[in-house]
Structure 1
Amino acid sequence: MDVNPNIAIVANIISDQTRAKMIFAMLDGRFHPATELAYMAGIKPQTASFHLKKMMDAHLIKVEKQGRHRYYGIKDSSVAGILESFLPVAPQVEVRSLKKSPKDKALRSARTCYDHLAGNLGVKILTSLVNNGFLVEEDNKYSVTDRGREFLDTIHIDISELRNKRRSFSHKCLDWSERRHHIGGALGNAIFERLLEFGWIKRLPKTRAISVTTLGEKKIPEVFKIEL
């Protein structure tokens, strides 16, 4: 059987430890300057430019220009989904310092998976939506029930509007730290954005970790019927 040679190109890109650090840093769904990605990977900015070009040539990332500045991010949600799928089968990184331990704990608690919510919080929210009959599991996706539509209306999420987007509506996304699914696609993104808008969660700088605010500690358990 012939193998598409492009698979080897992509595999070569992420097999490099430096590029892997940079591209997985971009899974927070934001755009980063080369200097910031270089810092995250522990390399010089000039070296980062070399690796970024390779990732762009492989169509894994894209660049946005603002004046003289360039910002790099994952090309789209499909690329992010493929990259994230590697994490559950990858060997876990051993935490060897007290400095790394809080960071690891924060990522496992709640983080971004490109443009939707992952980690323990993301899994708990999905589990609650299914257990309460708001979502029904179907193969690799979820369908919204009539009860689910009513619930989502209460947090100002318009299902009809989401269905018109040119992307997956609500697919399963395997969580690398929980080894269970959280919800991706347009619905997963809408829930994440709404929690940010309500001020129940907030992004943390220079990391994919998400923090639950004081207001969120009260409202998230109340609305989603979960324990934090």
Structure 2
Amino acid sequence: MEAEADLAAMGRLIGDPNRAQMLNVLLGGTPQSGSALAAAVGISRSLASAHLKKLTAGGLVRAERNGRQQLYSIAAQPVADALEILQLLAPATPVRSLRGAAQRRNLRWARMCYDHLAGVAGVAVTEALAAQDAIAELDGAWVLGARGARVFAGVGIDVGAVPRRTRPLLRPCMDWTERRHHLAGSLGAALTAELMRRDWLRRHEASRAVTVTPDGYSGLNAWLGIDFGQLRESSAA
């Protein structure tokens, strides 16, 4: 009996190390040019273009024209979710340099999981929100807690205005490095966007890693009572 879905085709698409690395970069949620992806992976622009054509044809990546530039992004949320699940199953890549070790530490500390915050910082924010009854679990699903509207209003988020037609308002997302949940869904995305707008979080070009800024350290401490300085020290130990 033939399988209904050609999983092997997906395996071939992501089985090339260069394509897999491009997908990892795009999981940061920021559209990237072919040149930026080539530089991030360390390959020629022509080879990057060939890989991107395959990823686009296979439905994992979307290409959009922005003026004279073609920008690439993950095709849709389900693609990002599938890639994150595969990362939970995949073995860690070996670290062969001090630079690689530093990059791994930065990714573990704070990174984008498509459009929401992940890593040590993302899990800490999520667990602090649960401790303040801003989010809660009900029958295996995540729901807004009794104090949810008030707590999120503390950073200027009107929960009632957060779009929820095409995705859940909030859902758990198993963190790739921490093996604990961080906040996803439209509310997780809205929160991360607001932290970026306040410059509490700052993106890096062609990388999933994000920086928690000094304003972020103080702002998140005032809002949720998280001592990010101590948290960073303990996570690096």
TM value normalised by structure 1: 0.93
What is the Cα deviation at residue 140 of structure 1?
5.8
SS at structure 2 position matched to 1:28: coil
Deviations for 1:13-59, whole angstroms, at most 9, x for unmatched residues? 11111110111110010111111111222221111111111111111
1:86 aligns with 2:76: no
Please name the residue that 1:125 is paired with. Answer: 125
Q: Is the 8 A contact 2:37 2:206 kept in 1?
A: no
CA distance in 2, matches of 1:68, 1:203: 24
Alignment gaps of 5+ in structure 1: none
1:8-19 to structure 2, matched below 5 A, reads: 8-19=8-19
* Cα gap change, 1:183 to 1:164, in 2 (>3 Å): closer
How many Å separate the matches in 2 of 1:139 and 1:115?
26
Report the AA paired with residue 154 of structure 1. Answer: G
**Unmatched tracts of structure 2, length 5 or more:** 229-237
In the alignment, which residue of structure 2 is the partner of 1:225? 225
Query: Corresponding residue for 1:27?
Result: 27
The structural deviation recorded for 1:71 is 0.7
Alignment-derived partner of residue 113 in structure 2: 113
SS at match of 2:143: strand
Aligned-partner Cα distance in 2 for 1:163–1:35: 33
Cα distance change, pair 139–23 in 1 and its aligned pair in 2 (3 A)? farther
Q: Give the deviation of 1:96 after TM superposition.
A: 2.4
RMSD of aligned C-alpha atoms? 1.6
Gap change, CA 1:185 and 1:107, over 3 Å in 2:
same
Deviating more after overlay: 162-171 vs 129-138: 162-171
Counterpart of 2:171 in structure 1 is: 171
Counterpart of 1:198? 198
Q: SS of the counterpart of 1:136?
A: strand
Instruction: Please say if residues 29 and 112 of structure 2, whose CA atoms lie closer than 8 Å, have aligned partners that are also in contact.
Output: yes
Contact 2:154 2:223 (C-alpha < 8 Å) held by counterparts: no
1:214 alignment counterpart: 214
Aligned CA distance change for structure 1 residues 61 and 148 (closer, same or farther; 3 Å): same
* 1:63-119 Cα deviation digits (max 9, x unpaired): 110232101110122211111111122111222211222211111110101110000
Q: Deviations over 1:164-219 (max 9, x none)?
A: 44223212111111111111110110110111111211112331111111111111
- Conserved? CA contact 1:110–1:209, under 8 Å: yes
Q: 1:142 offset after TM fit, Å? A: 1.4
Aligned length in residues: 228
SS in 1 for 2:21: helix
Q: Return closer, same or farther for 1:139/1:13 CA change in 2, 3 Å cut-off.
A: farther
Change (3 A) 1:145 1:200: same
CA contact (8 A) 2:217 2:227 kept: no
- Which letter does structure 1 place at the counterpart of 2:25? A
Q: Which amino acid aligns with 1:125?
A: V
Q: How far apart, CA to CA, are the structure 2 residues paired with 1:58 and 1:224? A: 42
Q: Secondary structure of the equivalent of 1:211?
A: strand
For 2:15, give the aligned amino acid: S
The answer to whether the 8 A contact 1:29-1:114 is kept is yes
Deviation at 1:223, TM superposition (A): 0.8
State the AA in 2 paired with 1:219. Answer: G
1:73 corresponding residue in structure 2: 73
Q: 1:7 to 1:140 in 2, by over 3 A?
A: farther
**Inter-CA distance 222–206: structure 2 relative to 1 (3 Å threshold):** same
Compute the displacement of 1:153 (Å).
1.6
